[in-house]
Structure 1
Amino acid sequence: MASGDVLISVSLAARRTRYEPGELVALAASGELAAVNVSGQWWFHPDALPPRRVPVTSTGELPDLLLPSEVAGLFKVHVKTVNRWAREGRLPSTWTVGGRRRFLAGPVRELLERGWDGWEEA
């Protein structure tokens, strides 16, 4: 890490990734996740965090609506790519009352089950 890089606390890292703080500490302690331990407090570089976990319901299903970041994590692409797919009509989405884009879980699940391997760029 460069000297000017900003580090975040384990609690903020947990909120960003939906991992439990204990899970992140265990990953850092085992060397699987880059982190710095200063006086017993773990600090993480935001770019080195694991992908955000997608929440599942109690039955193991995806929730009805997914955030763009959750869909990006499932497809292993950037959030801007997912939003572009929505604008182009490749991936159905809807809008919240507050003007935020959400993706319908059904079409996302179908694409993942079909073995999605990317669309050719035009």
Structure 2
Amino acid sequence: MALVAECFSPAGIAIFMARRDVFVAVEGSRIVGTASLDGKVVRTVFVAPDCQRRGIGAALMRELDRLAREKGNTTLVVPSSVTAEGFYAKLGFEAVRDSCHGDDRTIIMEPAL
């Protein structure tokens, strides 16, 4: 848990932003969602809980897809949490394999053919 907190500290976020393409969804002056692209890998897709199920996450994913194609990538890879698997499946991704690190399970997803 300490490693996760360190990654998402202000210093950790600054490092991510220097290495990745980052998108932020804003309503008024409030940040309600974020997503980033690291090459062809989708990272850090989050939508504020009270703003979920309003299409914000899907809009962020469309922007990541657009940017990936613009950069010459033909596919996206999503390392999904178990709880986000359904979200990505609705967007046309399917599980291709599991990745386990200790007790953490990540589902690697790619667009369905």
Shorter-chain TM-score: what band?
A: 0.3 to 0.5
- TM-score (structure 2 length as normaliser): 0.33
